[in-house]
């Protein structure tokens, strides 16, 4: 990465909503440490090879940029949500031992066993949502009918917040994650409302803590005095509510679209539903619309691919480009529903890898199983090239998935 | 085959428990990996190798032993 390089602009263009940008292949081959220009006009280093992305994501020395780092911003000043540029008031420990302590305190609610215990309830919710979709008649929108509501119901249940408020969460998380649609003023207003809502919710829990995640965290603090502070509880609740539905809602829509875009894939699953687990992992690997990639702010010099990236550099790690790296995956551009092992980087890697990944995996498996069972004749109602994309979100996805059956 | 885990590196993703539940578990009080079987039977080797390969924290080490 040299200052005089012609910088590529992110996000890179693609021909079709489910296809990766052609540029990824060239970058991995010729320019694995590229200079890119973000929508803010700021420059960053862009990594596209599996080994490089994984090495940087697992490097415990570096984390996401914080406000005040002077890191490259995604969106221009005054635009975009707190997720784009960090937020000063509500922060969680983001590195080292304090981060690990927070993560383990919260992470124990997302163990594989707990998710297995939640599974029957998720199946009932998914079945009910699919029945409703069938009742409304075809064609339908799989995103509105199942992809969005399923993870919202599940995360609301885990956090103990009322699912009736889901439209408000959706609005707040949109403002939180959208880097182009809203003005800075609008985003701040949404953020303040969200903080007020979550503060009131935590006050209510304190009076009568239940067995949900936030209730347990409050109880822990009161019994052993080692729990999270008020600010941390609010930030945890907000973070989980946003992360817990937006990403999975998008992924359900993209997974089903990828599987239906080539009918052979769907039929393969109908013939052998035991492939659901590996099919979910392969959909996660194959998804080209993960959004921006993960930023890391370098607080020390780092050498990548023989190139010195100086301290103060902002690096954008493209997990979806790394997931298509032939050096790591045989036939990387082929969607293989039996691929195993599948060490994709969609949930990141290392100490900051997705806290809710067991939850996301379970929700995706449940959504797919229920659809295969209840709607075996499911198909896209528009050509895959015409699927409408979400614009401006840090989390990439489809705004609707028109289907019929 | 000999298996070892690094509890300090573990990020609690639970992939090992989902992949090889007879060999790995997670502690209830913090989600950290617990090794149930250091020398798993041969019919579990494939799933243990997969668990090690997909662990996002690279916290599982598998040592292959020719006679095991």
Note the pLDDT tens digit of each residue in A194-210: 999 999 999 999 999 98
- A74 pLDDT band, cuts 50/70/90, is confident
Residue the block writes with tokens 């103990």: A160
A73-78 contacts, C-beta under 8 A, 24 or more apart: A73/A38, A73/A40, A73/A42, A74/A38, A74/A39, A74/A40, A74/A179, A74/A292, A74/A295, A74/A394, A75/A38, A75/A39, A75/A40, A75/A179, A75/A180, A76/A39, A76/A40, A76/A41, A77/A40, A77/A184, A78/A183, A78/A184
Token pair of A245 as six digits: 């539905």
Question: Which domains, ranges and CATH numbers included, belong to chain A?
Answer: 8-404 (1.10.630.10)
B34 touches chain A (CB under 8 A): no
- State yes or no: ipTM above 0.90: yes
The alpha-carbon gap from B66 to the nearest alpha carbon of chain A, in Å, equals 22
A58 touches chain B (CB under 8 A): yes
**pLDDT value, residue A282:** 98
Would you say A398 and A250 are in contact if contact means Cβ atoms under 8 Å apart?
A: yes
| Chain A partners within 8 Å of B54 (Cβ) | 341-343
| Chain B partners within 8 Å of A340 (Cβ) | 50
Residue A146 has pLDDT above 70, yes or no: yes
Q: Please list the residues that pair with A34 across neighbouring strands.
A: A46
The alpha-carbon gap from A323 to the nearest alpha carbon of chain B, in Å, equals 13
**pLDDT value, residue B68:** 47
**pLDDT value, residue A390:** 84
Q: What is the mean pLDDT of residues A162-184?
A: 78
Question: Which domains, ranges and CATH numbers included, belong to chain B?
Answer: 2-63 (3.30.70.20)
**pLDDT value, residue A77:** 62
Least CA distance to B18: which residue of chain A?
A112
Residue B23 has pLDDT above 90, yes or no: yes
CA distances from A43 to A77, A167, A310 (A): 14, 35, 13
pTM of the model: 0.94
A11 touches chain B (CB under 8 A): no
Beta-strand runs (E) in A285-345: 294-297, 302-304, 307-309, 314-317
Would you say B59 and B13 are in contact if contact means Cβ atoms under 8 Å apart?
A: no
Tens-place pLDDT, residues A243-273: 888 889 999 999 999 999 999 999 999 999 9
């Amino acid at each position: 990465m040299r200052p005089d390089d012609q910088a590529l602009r992110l996000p890179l263009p693609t021909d079709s909503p489910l296809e990766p940008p052609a540029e990824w292949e060239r970058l991995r081959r010729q320019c694995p440490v590229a200079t890119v220009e973000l929508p803010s006009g700021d420059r960053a280093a862009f990594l596209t090879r599996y080994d490089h992305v994984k090495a940087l994501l697992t490097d415990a020395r570096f984390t996401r940029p914080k406000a005040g780092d002077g890191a490259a911003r995604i969106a221009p000043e005054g635009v975009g949500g707190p997720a784009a540029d960090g937020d000063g008031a509500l922060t969680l420990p983001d590195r080292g031992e304090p981060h690990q302590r927070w993560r383990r305190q919260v992470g124990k609610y997302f163990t594989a066993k707990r998710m297995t215990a939640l599974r029957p309830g998720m199946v009932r919710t998914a079945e009910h949502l699919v029945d409703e979709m069938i009742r409304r008649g075809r064609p339908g929108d799989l995103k509105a009918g199942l992809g969005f509501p399923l993870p919202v119901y599940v995360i609301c249940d885990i956090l103990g917040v009322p699912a009736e408020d889901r439209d408000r969460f959706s609005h707040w998380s949109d403002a939180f994650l959208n880097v182009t649609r809203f003005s800075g003023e609008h985003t701040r207003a949404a953020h303040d409302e969200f903080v007020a809502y979550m503060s009131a919710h935590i006050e209510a829990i304190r009076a009568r803590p239940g067995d949900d995640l936030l209730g347990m965290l409050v109880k822990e603090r009161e019994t052993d005095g080692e729990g999270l502070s008020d600010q941390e509880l609010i930030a945890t609740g907000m973070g989980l509510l946003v992360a817990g539905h937006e990403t999975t809602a998008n992924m359900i829509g993209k997974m089903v679209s990828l599987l239906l875009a080539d009918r052979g894939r769907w039929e393969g699953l109908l013939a052998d539903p035991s492939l659901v687990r590996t099919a979910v992992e392969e959909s996660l690997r194959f998804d080209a619309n993960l959004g921006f990639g993960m930023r890391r702010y370098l607080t020390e010099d780092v050498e990548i691919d023989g190139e010195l990236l100086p301290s103060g550099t902002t690096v954008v790690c493209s997990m979806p480009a790394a997931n298509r790296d032939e050096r790591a995956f045989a036939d990387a551009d082929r969607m293989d529903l039996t691929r195993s092992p599948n060490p994709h980087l969609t949930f990141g890697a290392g100490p900051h890898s997705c806290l809710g990944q067991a939850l996301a995996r379970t929700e995706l498996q449940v959504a797919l199983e229920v659809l295969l069972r209840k709607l075996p004749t499911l198909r896209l109602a528009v050509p895959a090239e015409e699927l409408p994309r979400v614009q401006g979100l840090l989390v990439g996805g489809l705004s609707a998935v028109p289907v019929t059956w | 085959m000999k298996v070892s885990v690094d509890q300090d590196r573990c990020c609690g993703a639970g992939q090992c428990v989902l992949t090889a539940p007879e060999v790995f578990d997670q502690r209830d009080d913090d989600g950290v990996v617990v090794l149930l079987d250091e020398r798993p039977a041969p019919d579990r080797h494939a799933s243990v190798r997969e668990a090690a390969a997909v662990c996002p924290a690279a916290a599982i080490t598998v040592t292959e032993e020719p006679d095991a």
